[in-house]
């Protein structure tokens, strides 16, 4: 799978993520350039990244920057502390 990501670094936020099958590498590259040119023309300073992985799940493991926050981990740790304190 190929993933085209528009990422706002200053807000640590993914604006959009487009998916392409492996057979559409050319289309994905075209889309990256088109998006980059659009953002450049509008003066928007966002990262445009083209990523590849076997699946979205695999990509989340290796490039989680583009997949949201650490809040679930924080919550997991808080819950764990709570359970430990209860024992």
Site for other proteins, rule CB under 8 A: 4, 9-12, 14, 16-19, 25, 27, 29-38, 40-41, 45, 47-54, 57-65, 67-74, 76-77
In the bound complex, what is the minimum distance in angstroms from residue 25's beta carbon to other proteins? Answer: 7
- Please enumerate in sequence order all residues whose Cβ is within 8 A of that of 67, keeping only pairs 6 or more positions apart, or say none: 14, 59, 60
Nearer to other proteins, 21 or 37 (CB): 37
In the bound complex, what is the minimum distance in angstroms from residue 83's beta carbon to other proteins? Answer: 13
Nearer to other proteins, 32 or 86 (CB): 32
- The three-state secondary structure class of 22 is helix
- C-alpha to C-alpha distance for 45 and 11, rounded to whole angstroms: 11
In the bound complex, what is the minimum distance in angstroms from residue 70's beta carbon to other proteins? Answer: 5
Torsion, Cα 13 17 38 11, to 10 degrees, reads 0
């Amino acid at each position: 799978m190929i993933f085209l990501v528009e990422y706002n670094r200053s807000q640590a936020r993914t604006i959009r993520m487009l998916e392409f099958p492996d057979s559409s590498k050319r289309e994905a590259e075209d889309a990256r350039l088109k998006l980059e040119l659009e953002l450049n023309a509008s003066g928007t300073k966002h990262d445009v990244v083209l990523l590849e992985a076997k699946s979205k799940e695999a990509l989340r493991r290796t490039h989680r920057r583009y997949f949201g926050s650490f809040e679930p981990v924080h919550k997991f740790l808080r819950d764990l502390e709570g359970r430990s304190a209860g024992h």
